[in-house]
Amino acid sequence: EPEVTQTPSHQVTQMGQEVILRCVPISNHLYFYWYRQILGQKVEFLVSFYNNEISEKSEIFDDQFSVERPDGSNFTLKIRSTKLEDSAMYFCASSLDRINQPQHFGDGTRLSIL
């Protein structure tokens, strides 16, 4: 079964540094998402992306965050200047359509900010 692939599985970064989290969505999917899960807490929506544009974003997704689909297969989340509170598990998801098909999640990248 096709799956969403995320790299790296664990990223350790110094506070204030930039970090890029990478995702390869399922190949025929058109809608892409980032969620995050702070340790022990619920999964929270960050942003959705379609047709090379952000379609929706949460209040968490401030100017420090950006997303990009640099080529036909990758989908990236960049955090420009990381803070301690950015430490979390970041999940990428993709779906075939916006409403009728489910979102499929990757196994996540654990981001640790020191």
Partner 1 sequence: QQQVKQSPQSLIVQKGGISIINCAYENTAFDYFPWYQQFPGKGPALLIAIRPDVSEKKEGRFTISFNKSAKQFSLHIMDSQPGDSATYFCATRMRGNEKLTFGTGTRLTIIP
Binding residues vs partner 1 (CB under 8 A): 4, 31, 33, 35, 41-45, 48, 55-56, 58, 91, 93, 95, 98-99, 102-108
The residue (of 17 and 55) whose beta carbon lies closer to partner 1 is 55
The residue (of 84 and 99) whose beta carbon lies closer to partner 1 is 99
Report the nearest approach of partner 1 to the CB of residue 15 (Å).
25
Beta strands in 1-114 (DSSP E): 5-7, 10-13, 19-24, 31-37, 43-50, 53-57, 65-68, 75-79, 88-95, 104-105, 109-113
